[in-house]
Structure 1
Amino acid sequence: MRLPRVRRNVCVTPCLTKVCETVCPVNSRMGNVCVMPDKVETAASPQGDGRATRWEDHKAERRSRILEAAMDAINEDGPDVGVQQIANRADVPRSVVYRIFTDRGDLDEQLRGRIIERLMTDLAPTLTPEGTVGEAIARAVETYLRWIVEYPRLHQFLGTGSPSRRTTGSRVVTGTKTAIALQLSGLLATVLDSVAGNSDLAESLAFGLVGLVDASVNRWLSNPQSALGSDELAEFLEVSIWQVLHGNLARIGVTIDPSTPVSELQ
């Protein structure tokens, strides 16, 4: 059975304010579709006109300050930082953290959303490819690896949480991977429709490529004895992505070259 193809752009900005299939306010000017999970529920706020608004603004400012402090703490001290360490960095009492977040799980999940925002600030532009096919692949891979090398502890926290609070299957992380794969699927579908008249391979190619990069990078980070440096890993990923694309396109009679301009394929 052929799955329906996503024809709109996909928002990969984890705004955490909208449910799947709503227009993200951050990206509305581009007509993108937000596929991020809805915001994790937090403690109820006081009710009442102006007071409620002021409370929500105050709570939002404190939430942002706590999340930024938590990112800094993880980046410097590792993913097993405690709530008291985070509170100290944010210059708030520990009790305030639990007035803003329902529990440690809520804090960690919203923290993953904030980390992904930082990652996607750098990565999102590369998901709209420019230049040649080879240049577009290299730009995306090198941008991703550069961020990971700079923030390895934040990336570790995204994938597995901390040693004392192991986490797999985070809704925010899974939603982001899916959003990236769907955006890539839409791009590949456009290319395949143009050059082959058939886009059946688009979704499988997109999710396969995202899985290839994700698994390779996660293993590389978890193995400090790896013989590959970041440059060698980047080269491996660029060659692998190209070979997957080239091999599958050749199988359906389409020939492209790394020097082919992306604009000629759309």
Structure 2
Amino acid sequence: MSPASSGPALKPTASPSLATSARPVVDPAPASADDPAEAPEAAPEQVPDGRSTRWDSHRAARRIALVHAARKAVHRGGPEISMDEIAAYAKTSKSIVYRYFTDKPGLQLAMGEAVVGQMAEALREAALTATTPRDSLRSMVAVYLEMIEHSPNVYYFVTRTAPGLPFLDSMIELVAVPFAQEMNTSAADAAAWGAGAVGFVRGSGEWWLENRDAADAPTREELTERVTAWLWGGPVGVLAKESRRTDLT
């Protein structure tokens, strides 16, 4: 959950089914003559009123559709899938995909941003519906593990091979909230703990993805409870004891 690190070698899995998500997945339409990516760019002074806005909207919608198609293709074909295979799945040409995303890392970054956005929404909802700070932390751990289990191939694609992707860095503040609520601590302490917690949860989750088929591996639900207990009873418990000792002196 911190910026991607080398980490242990992970084992991509190919899934026979299409990826689903909390949001409806839009099937991309084939590129057509009306696709602005296939038309030459006009100078601003040569574009009639409203045409630029229409093309911008079309490009944005087409880009979203291509990200959805790529996500499905990666879910099926694995994180090492080629751009040719992604373009074929999207029913378009590789040159069109490159026009929208420049290169494969650009597509990986766009897909990663979509995944992070979806996860952020689910984590915020989990935090808002929890009744206690500890339950909030547990809910967020559960959401993360559930989402990476749903499509390991997509997770690997956006975290292992997209350079510069700050995967889940935006989650540090959310994860730090339960800690800050419980400890009434400084923003710096909460941020430091949040960063460590994000890294810990991500590391535990990636280990589990690689080892979940082992006979003695915990279930996702068991790992959720253990990670929550380790995080909450570790630094939170230590600082709580220190706080109580300070109050008594």
Same-fold status (TM-score > 0.5): yes
Contact 2:75–2:151 (8 Å) recurs in 1: yes
Alpha-carbon distance between aligned partners in 2 of 1:108 and 1:200, rounded to the nearest angstrom: 32
Q: What's 1:208 paired with? A: 196
Which one of 235, 244, 247 corresponds to residue 253 of structure 1?
A: 244
- Summarize deviations over 1:140-173 as a string: whole Å, max 9, x none: 2222211121122122223212xxxxx45x3341
Alpha-carbon distance between aligned partners in 2 of 1:75 and 1:53, rounded to the nearest angstrom: 33
Q: What's 1:240 paired with? A: 230
Higher radius of gyration, 1 or 2: 2
Three-state SS of the structure 1 residue aligned to 2:244 is coil
Three-state SS of the structure 1 residue aligned to 2:202 is helix
Three-state SS of the structure 2 residue aligned to 1:253 is helix
- Summarize deviations over 1:187-229 as a string: whole Å, max 9, x none: 5445433xx7x66632222222112111111222234554323
Aligned pairs for 1:28-177 (under 5 A) are 46-48=42-44, 49=47, 50-128=50-128, 130-161=130-161, 167-168=162-163, 170-173=164-167, 176-177=168-169
Contact 2:138–2:228 (8 Å) recurs in 1: yes
Instruction: Describe the shift of the 1:180–1:142 C-alpha distance in structure 2 as closer, same or farther (beyond 3 A).
Output: same
Alpha-carbon distance between aligned partners in 2 of 1:137 and 1:82, rounded to the nearest angstrom: 37
Three-state SS of the structure 1 residue aligned to 2:117 is helix
Instruction: Describe the shift of the 1:224–1:143 C-alpha distance in structure 2 as closer, same or farther (beyond 3 A).
Output: closer
Structure-2-length-normalised TM-score = 0.69
Alpha-carbon distance between aligned partners in 2 of 1:92 and 1:200, rounded to the nearest angstrom: 48
Instruction: Describe the shift of the 1:98–1:242 C-alpha distance in structure 2 as closer, same or farther (beyond 3 A).
Output: same
Alpha-carbon distance between aligned partners in 1 of 2:187 and 2:123, rounded to the nearest angstrom: 25
Structure-1-length-normalised TM-score = 0.65
Q: What's 2:23 paired with? A: none
List runs of 5+ in structure 2 lacking aligned partners.
1-36
- Bigger Cα displacement from structure 2, 86-95 vs 124-133: 124-133
Displacement, 1:88?
2.2
Q: What's 2:209 paired with? A: 221
- Summarize deviations over 1:68-106 as a string: whole Å, max 9, x none: 001011112111112222222222222211221222221
Number of equivalent positions: 200
- Residue 101 of structure 2 aligns with an amino acid whose one-letter code is F
- Residue 223 of structure 2 aligns with an amino acid whose one-letter code is L
Identity of aligned residues (%): 23
Alpha-carbon distance between aligned partners in 2 of 1:122 and 1:190, rounded to the nearest angstrom: 20
List runs of 5+ in structure 1 lacking aligned partners.
1-41, 162-166, 255-266
Instruction: Describe the shift of the 1:209–1:129 C-alpha distance in structure 2 as closer, same or farther (beyond 3 A).
Output: farther
Instruction: Describe the shift of the 1:210–1:154 C-alpha distance in structure 2 as closer, same or farther (beyond 3 A).
Output: same
Contact 1:126–1:136 (8 Å) recurs in 2: yes
1:182 aligns with 2:176: no
Alpha-carbon distance between aligned partners in 2 of 1:223 and 1:134, rounded to the nearest angstrom: 27
Alpha-carbon distance between aligned partners in 2 of 1:206 and 1:147, rounded to the nearest angstrom: 20
Q: Bigger relative contact order, structure 1 or 2, given CA contacts below 8 A and separation 6+?
A: 2
Displacement, 1:237?
0.5
Alpha-carbon distance between aligned partners in 2 of 1:129 and 1:207, rounded to the nearest angstrom: 22
Alpha-carbon distance between aligned partners in 1 of 2:226 and 2:119, rounded to the nearest angstrom: 22
